[in-house]
Amino acid sequence: MKKSVLKLLTGGMVVFTLLTGCTQEQPPMDPPAEVTEETVEEPTAEPTEAPAEETEEPAEEAAPKTTKDRSGNDIVLPTEINTIISMSPSTTRALIDMGYADKIVASDTNSQYSYGLELADEVLYMDMMSPDQEKIVELNPDIVFTSGMSSKDGEDAYSNVRAAGLCVADIPSSASIKDVEEDLLFIGKCIGDEAAAQALVDEMEETIAEIKEIAATIPEEEKKTVLFELFTPSADYPTIYTAGPGTYINEMLELVGAVNIAANEDAQWPALTEEAAVGADPQVILSADMYTPDAINAILSMKGWENVTAIKNGDVYMLDADEVNQPCHRIINALVDMAVFIYPEYFEYDEGAEELKPAA
């Protein structure tokens, strides 16, 4: 049940130029008079000076554009983009869907192993937490997109890259859908293709509007409680990591008309005990667990959870972990899945028409 709202865009608009030969009709010339020695006369007009030789003016180079990256750092954008390094999966996805996959010369290992992030075989991959700065400088890209996750404990993981004069544009992990949209527009500005970025944002907004319209028809007494889990508890690791207030995932749950059981926790990404999760009695459980084999059956068979409403009714669903965990335009696909999983009586997705609509 995937809403394919994300059409692969080309990096720019292809312009067809029709070349036609331009001929200008010349006025008719009188046939020349017969010339003899007697008829040749000395010219009476003063000779005109030869026209000055025209010299072609050199094209002016575009002035560098100074702006701020998403972390508030002053950066100077390149005047031309031929090579890009993208050090986070969310940025890599955005660049691919804008049509710039062929410009990427290096990326992070998370992008390497994320489903759907097909890049050229020669692309170099490195750890986003400890990037090979010397190699980045050697590649000499026009721009390096980084993630706030790369700099921890106040240390800049790209200090040497900045010192080498390369443009380093940092994009911290977004906390809201609006942040995600601003990230996309920023990427578009950096690569000089704001139209491609705006197209992705427009499709996001279109889907959000459709979901809001349907969610508004859900009566308050029918609102369902939901547990979103990033990690399934086990005997060795009994903690449940989830999304709390101030996260785009909590915002997504609210958009579809659901109630996040962790919405009132103190942390953005709280760790719940099994006792707290069972006590909340969620009516639906959504998992984005990338680590537990067969996570859905693992959840359904957890001891002590037998009386949880979601377990009794079998309302336990797996979300695409890459789409929901990576803050880029693809979260809209996860948003559609959330709506259909939680409220199949209100939301329906037509695969053939690629259209979200009210359930019949």
Render pLDDT for 201-240 as a digit per residue (tens, 0 to 9): 999 999 999 999 999 999 999 999 999 999 999 888 889 9
pLDDT at 21 (0 to 100): 34
Q: How confident is the model at residue 153 (pLDDT cuts 50, 70, 90)?
A: low
Least confident of 23-27, 295-299, 346-350: 23-27
What are the backbone angles phi and psi of residue 56, rounded to the nearest 5°?
-80, 125
pLDDT at 31 (0 to 100): 35
* Sequence-distant (≥ 6) Cβ neighbours of residue 277 within 8 angstroms: 227, 233, 240, 261
Please count the residues of the chain: 360
Over the stretch 316-326, which tens digit does the pLDDT of each residue have? 999 999 999 99
Least confident of 110-114, 157-161, 256-260: 110-114
Percent of the chain at pLDDT exceeding 90:
72
Above 80 in pLDDT, residue 288?
yes
Above 70 in pLDDT, residue 345?
yes
Above 70 in pLDDT, residue 131?
yes
pLDDT at 150 (0 to 100): 72
pLDDT at 57 (0 to 100): 58
Q: The pTM is what?
A: 0.81
Of 113-122, 291-300, 346-355, the range with the highest mean pLDDT is 291-300
* Sequence-distant (≥ 6) Cβ neighbours of residue 87 within 8 angstroms: 107, 108, 126, 128, 131, 144, 145, 146, 147, 150
The pLDDT of 93-112, averaged and rounded, is: 95
Over the stretch 28-81, which tens digit does the pLDDT of each residue have? 333 333 333 333 334 444 444 555 555 555 555 566 689 999 999 999 999 999
pLDDT at 284 (0 to 100): 98
pLDDT at 63 (0 to 100): 65
| 328 alpha-carbon distance from chain centroid | 4
Least confident of 19-23, 234-238, 306-310: 19-23
Q: How far apart are CA 333 and CA 4, in angstroms?
A: 7
Structural domains in the chain, CATH included, are 65-173 (3.40.50.1980), 218-358 (3.40.50.1980)
The pLDDT of 293-304, averaged and rounded, is: 95
pLDDT at 39 (0 to 100): 36
Using DSSP bridges, classify how beta strands 240-241 and 316-318 pair: parallel, antiparallel or unpaired.
unpaired
Q: Give the DSSP letter of residue 64.
A: P
- Name the residue among 258, 318, 301, 303 with its Cα closest to residue 283: 258
Of 22 and 279, more confident: 279
pLDDT at 35 (0 to 100): 34
